[in-house]
Amino acid sequence: MDEKLKDDMLVCRCEEVTVADVKKAIRDGARDVTSVKLRTRAGMGLCQGRTCEALVQAILRQELGVTPEEAGFSTPRTPQRPVTFGTLGGDGFNE
């Protein structure tokens, strides 16, 4: 990625994370995709990083001069949904 990305460009549409947010995370100590994810929520939305992870990796490589292996990948997680206490306790629970 040779061209300079504008700071207001969205990297993660799901969580509305911009290039500036990723660069700030890097200035604050992020050194790989997972640490950027923890600081910005990039990759935690509905797509689980399928649309933004490559761009986060590219920004890391550009800003830090690291290899793709050093930039790493995020840890895949299963999508989660809120569950009511009734569901957890078994609605209609009878003694």
pLDDT tens-digit profile of 35-71? 999 999 999 988 888 889 999 999 999 999 999 889 9
Structure tokens at 78: 């299963």
Domains of the chain from N-terminus onward: 10-73 (1.10.10.1100)
d(CA 38, CA 41): 6
- State how far the Cα of 11 lies from the Cα of 24, in Å rounded to an integer: 13
Q: How confident is the model over 6-25, as pLDDT tens digits?
A: 999 999 999 999 999 999 99
pTM score: 0.76
Length of the chain: 95
Distance CA 57, CA 54 (A): 5
